[in-house]
Amino acid sequence: GAVVSQHPSRVICKSGTSVKIECRSLDFQATTMFWYRQFPKQSLMLMATSNEGSKATYEQGVEKDKFLINHASLTLSTLTVTSAHPEDSSFYICSAPRLSTDTQYFGPGTRLTVL
């Protein structure tokens, strides 16, 4: 079946550094991908829509300069958390819709811990 992967699965970094998270659709092309954030014991909150070949669309309250999104190919979207701070610590999940089956697939998530 269709699979979406994320790398890394977990990352620990120091405050002030930048962290890149990759989201890949492994056996289908995705012109659109979505990035969600999940705080402990809370729901998934949509952060932004990643569009292949164009700028990402950010949800209200999400800083685009803080969370840089690049969708350079039809199978890869990256989320870079710039100048990370402890409050950015969270679980980041991506998803990609497979249009041929009208089904959305989720990645396994990336646990970011900022010290």
Partner 1 sequence: AQRVTQPEKLLSVFKGAPVELKCNYSYSGSPELFWYVQYSRQRLQLLLRHISRESIKGFTADLNKGETSFHLKKPFAQEEDSAMYYCALSGAGSYQLTFGKGTKLSVIP
Distance CA 103, CA 85 (A): 34
Of the candidates 92, 111, 106, 81, the one whose C-alpha atom is nearest the C-alpha of residue 30 is 106
* Residues numbered 64-93 forming contacts with partner 1, rule: CB under 8 A: 93
Positions 43 through 62 that interact with partner 1 (CB under 8 A) = 43-46, 49
Determine which residue in the list 84, 97, 112, 114 makes contact with partner 1, applying CB under 8 A. 97
Regarding 115 and contact with partner 1 (CB under 8 A), the answer is: no
Using the minimum distance from each CB to partner 1, give the nearer residue, 109 or 114.
Answer: 109
The nearest distance, CB 76 to partner 1, in angstroms, is 18
Footprint (CB under 8 A) of partner 1, residues 2-41: 32, 34, 36
Residue selected from 25, 77, 95, 110 as contacting partner 1 according to rule CB under 8 A? 95
Q: Can you read off the two tokens belonging to residue 95? A: 């998803």
Structure tokens at 15: 């405050």
DSSP string, 5-47: EEE-SEEEE-TT--EEEEEEESSS--SEEEEEEE-TTS-EEEE
Place of tokens 């710039």: 82
Between residues 84 and 105, which has the closer beta carbon with respect to partner 1?
A: 105
Which residues form the interface with partner 1 (CB under 8 A)? 32, 34, 36, 42-46, 49, 93, 95, 97, 103-104, 106-109
